[in-house]
Structure 1
Amino acid sequence: MYTFYILYTEYDFEFLKHNFFFLFCSPQYLQCLKQSQAKSRCSVEVYGVYYPSNKDCLTTGRGRVDGEVVMLSAHWEKKQASLRDLQQQLQQLPGLIADLESLTASLTHLEASFEEVENHLLNLEDLCGQCELERYKHMQSQQLENYKKNKRELERSSEKLTKRFQNEQGQNKLKINYPIY
């Protein structure tokens, strides 16, 4: 039974990407090749010497595999670019974590400041309520003073009117009584 193996040199990656060489061989033959350090470049011509009837199949297979290698290489490069991006993002994580910690500390500080401002606002509201109450008391006391002042003025004017009325009555009585005398 023959199997399909790809042999390549471990040292020449560019050669691997563009010049694959293939062997259709038995596992025993592959072991012999590996043991004899035959991992270097083998060409279609060398293979054609050993298996002349399979040379066309090898050429067709080589074209297909070259296409697959190009696709796999592009896919591998995409994965490698994604990995590089991921590594860059991972390198940025400590800075991001430090930023998050500083933001958390800032938020804690802001929360404490907010509570302090809220307490000041409550105190200010209490002071405003007290000021309003004092203003209302002052307004009421002013109204009371005005009322008392008006009442005294009215009492004085009524006393004056009463005295004047009594004086006029007294004079009228005197006038009435004077002609008699």
Structure 2
Amino acid sequence: MPMDVLLAWFEAHQGLAAWLALGGGVVVAALGWLFRAYRLGTKQRKVVRAHLVAVKEAVLNGAVAVELAASELSEIAHAANSAGRDERQDLAGRAGAHLEAIREMERRAPCAELKTELACVCNGIKDFQIAVLGWHGVHDSDSSKRDAGFTAIERLNRSGRDLRKNLRLIKGK
């Protein structure tokens, strides 16, 4: 269509041409808005995926650390049955190393649920340390400290199972 014919049509239909210009501007603006909304949604999905990957990794690392601590504390508990006072202090120090590692994980945890679970684990390890320091051996008539230590280990095992369960739930998302 030659330019002269187009200009002649615009001169003949000035009102319609004005409405086309306004409508075209609105259509272009709406398409631009939709494109920006789509791009923003894409960016947000990428951020959510990255956060989900970080949470999965943190939960997995937390579960492994808790299970490792529980198995180590079990060995410490059996060693504490025949240990003297100085040896029990050394054993409590070994438990303290796990406590510090899990506290560091708790500080870096990306979600509140993981922080809560790791805080519970830290409390269990702290209770275990206190119990080991007051341990009197397997043949002592007062077994309250020994029972408290094994209860703390059971709490750690339960927390490890809970973290594994949470990891399976996150994988489903």
Structure 2-normalised TM-score?
Answer: 0.38
Q: Which has the larger radius of gyration?
A: 1
Higher strand share: 1
Structure 1-normalised TM-score?
Answer: 0.36
Higher helix share: 2
